[in-house]
Structure 1
Amino acid sequence: MSLDVTHARSQLADDSRHEGDSIRFLYAKSMNTFGTNFQLMGYRYSTQGFYTLDDVAYRRMEGYEYDYDYDGEHRDEPIIVNYHNLRFSRKDRLQLNISQSLNDFGSLYISGTHQKYWNTSDSDTWYQVGYTSSWVGISYSLSFSWNESVGIPDNERIVGLNVSVPFNVLTKRRYTRENALDRAYASFNANRNSNGQNSWLAGVGGTLLEGHNLSYHVS
């Protein structure tokens, strides 16, 4: 269990100055008998004048960020991916993370957040459920997430797949910690959202140097 307080002074895009405090509470519990990890985190912004560094970086008090998708008719249609309104400062945030081990069959997890704001009754809600496991040294995970955000008319749903394959599995070599190639791995990530957009990302990572002090990842 932990508790901390943050005080911030901020100047926003309209040159207005603000001052406020944030109190954070964290509680974590592990029940080893059942293989369950439970974590509850609550953020409470006690005054309307608290803003984060990300808030200060915005050049406008309110605005949208867009992504573009090919719609099959040779033109790009903008899709809203983010919205901010600095007149709605964060009020309180609740976050929940629970994971359950299934022993040799991997593990299940669920995560969620709920964010409220000052000056509006609207709120942000996000949750994700997933399954992780491994097979002959290959790690993989499946997930589903749902997101509803202030200022964005439609909620977003994303299905994701992540796979990580050690190089020694690909080369069928016996693993040795001294060999940099054996400590390397290939990763692959695929996502599809409710707008029909697909994203793909492949990469390579691992550790280098004596003592494995340097970690790297290229994608």
Structure 2
Amino acid sequence: MSGQPPNDPGNAPGAASAAAAIGESRWGAGAAVLVAALVTSVLPERLTTGPRWALPALELALLAALLAANPRRLTRKSRDARALSLVLIAVIGATNALSLVSVVHQLLVGDVSTGRELVYAAAGVWLTNVVLFGLVFWELDRGGPHARSTLTSGRADLLFPQMTMDRPDDPAWSPSFMDYLYVSFTNSTAFSPTDTMPLTPRVKLAMTVQALLSLVTLGLVIARAVNVLG
């Protein structure tokens, strides 16, 4: 009998090419951004930077850019929308960092009698950072989802465990947004990489910044606010 069996590793390149050509859906990333927008929309206005609606509006603009760059339509528009997504992520990240500064300022020199409000605000800042850095890793790794789906990606920025295994049962495996969101969540809680290793300086820098922001949020803000509640 001629030919290779369906699960033969020799079929991996063709299977990977076919799977990548389909492209990754943007709905997972879009849902995460929508959750972040809903969370930030209920943050206390005195603990946010600018009008209360500004950050949720930016996040909704990012959601529109993500959905406009659906990789199932692999056009120049997809690459242009990715550039817009990166700009919006940077703006939202900077705005969220300023919100964290406002929370810390209120704890140190402001009225700390409303500890519950500070806990809610800190939790919102932390959750937004988890979503944002998940998007950062998703957009940076090997040139982003568009490059990965068109097989034009460069070197890997993150080393996932599946990339070190011989998996004839799933030769076309490729990280999705949920994989990057998990990396972001574990880095925000453990303050270090867990099962996925950073390989490039830019991702190492991003993970360092995220861990620092998370450490400030969880270690100083929430701990102090919970003490106020007592």
Scaled by the length of structure 2, what TM-score is found? 0.23
**Structure ranking higher on relative contact order (CA contacts 8 Å, 6+ apart):** 2
Scaled by the length of structure 1, what TM-score is found? 0.24
Pick the structure with greater CA Rg: 1
Between Structure 1 and Structure 2, which shows a larger proportion of strand residues? Answer: 1
